[in-house]
Structures are given as C-alpha cells and as structure tokens.
Amino acid sequence: MAFFIDFPFDWAGVPPFGETERWSTPEAWAKDLLDELAAGADVRLRKSQRKVLHETFVFEAVEGIKREASRTFLSLATWYGPLTSADAYITPREALGAISLEDYVGANDPSAAEPPEVGPFTTQSGLVGVRCVRYINPYDNSPVIGAVIEYAFEVDGSVLRLLTSQLDLVNFPRTIELMDGLAGSVTSV
C-alpha cells in the first residue's frame, strides 16, 4: 500500500526535478506553472509581479527539497498572496519507535503556548488519522507566536505526515481550511 494525495484545485504539487523528470529545474517548473495559472485565470501578469511569484515558487520548491519533504504543495490565495506551503513526509513506522501518531504530530509539544487541539481526522476516502493544531513560541524569550497544523496517517507500516506552519495568525483559519482540504484528499492505494 502507498499514499496518494489527490490535491484539490487550489493546491499545486511541487514535482520531482531532474534530467529524467518532466522539469529538470525548479525554475523551469515555476515558469510553466505561472504560464498555466495566468492562462487559466485569463490574466496578464505585470513583469514585476511575475518575477516575484516565480522567485517565490522556486524558493518554496528548493526549500521543500532542503527539508527533505517527500512532496511539497503550494496554494496561492490571490496573485498578491498569501502563499501557503505544506510538506508531506512518508516515514517507515518502525523508524518512529513506540511514539503515538498524536505525539508524532505535536500533541505534547513543549513549545506549545497552550494545549494543542488534537483529534481524529477522516479523509474523503475514509482513511482515519489524526490532526493537531497548535500555537507555538518558536523562539526562546520572544513574544512571537506561530501556528502549526499537522496530520498523520498510518497504513501498512508507513506513516504520512502532512504539515504547515506560519506566523500569520490572522490568516491561520483560512490555512486550516486549506489544509483540511489537502489532508482530506489523502488515500491509500
């Protein structure tokens, strides 16, 4: 069995890059993505706006690679942002030891500013996992508060972890809706 994320329309999946892949570089992929988004929305982007979006998409693709994500997904609210980036990680269950899925997604995170909201999450296909929403203090001795939402699903010895974090607490309720949609598209095949 494997995991499949049939991501919703408002998300774009960052593909693998390389000589044998459709796109050899993040730059080539970001250019094609922008062309497709602009054509689909029937808009003509200003050169400066295209440059900023291109650089942002490339940055997020490269950062996903650096974070060693199995896959990275992007959702752009409007041509001016905000952009939500989410990472998926697939890990063999035995590599996690005896940790529960709840703890794996942060149920007992010591940096949490308040007790996390942890509970079951069921995808559209009926796959049951867990979801954890928490507000954290990511920096010692700082008043900065961040928000994190994580999901975990376990199937046949593999665990899929899907997550995002951000400092924009005003936009976080929208991020929760977006992430619920993305996580809701997870199936096992």
Number of domains in the chain: 2
Q: pLDDT by residue (tens digit) across 31-88?
A: 999 999 888 877 788 899 999 999 999 999 999 999 999 999 999 988 888 999 999 9
Q: Are residues 177 and 105 in the same domain?
A: yes
Query: Which among 77, 100, 126 is the end of a domain?
Result: 77
Q: Are residues 98 and 181 in the same domain?
A: yes
Burial code of 148-179, b = ≥16 C-beta within 10 A, e = fewer?
Answer: bbbbbbbbeebbbbbbbbbeeeebbeebbebb
Considering the entire predicted model, what is its pTM? 0.92
CA atoms within 13 A on the CB side of 184: 10
Query: Which among 44, 77, 110 is the end of a domain?
Result: 77
**Mean per-residue pLDDT, 118-144:** 91
Q: Are residues 105 and 127 in the same domain?
A: yes
Q: Are residues 93 and 179 in the same domain?
A: yes
Q: Are residues 92 and 148 in the same domain?
A: yes
Q: Does residue 115 carry a pLDDT above 70? A: yes
Name the residue range of residue 150's domain: 87-188
Report the relative pairing of strands 117-122 and 128-136 from DSSP bridges. Answer: antiparallel
pLDDT of residue 72: 97
Tokens of 31: 């250019």
CA atoms within 13 A on the CB side of 188: 17
Largest CA distance in the chain: 53
Q: What is the dihedral of CA 126, 91, 26, 166, to 10 degrees?
A: 70
**Mean per-residue pLDDT, 25-34:** 95
Q: Are residues 53 and 103 in the same domain?
A: no
135 touches 146 (CB < 8 A): yes
Q: Are residues 93 and 73 in the same domain?
A: no
Over the chain, what is the mean pLDDT? 93
Query: Which among 77, 103, 125 is the end of a domain?
Result: 77
Position 82 in a domain: no
pLDDT of residue 89: 97
**Mean per-residue pLDDT, 173-188:** 96
Q: Does residue 1 carry a pLDDT above 70? A: no
3 touches 91 (CB < 8 A): no
Q: Are residues 39 and 120 in the same domain?
A: no
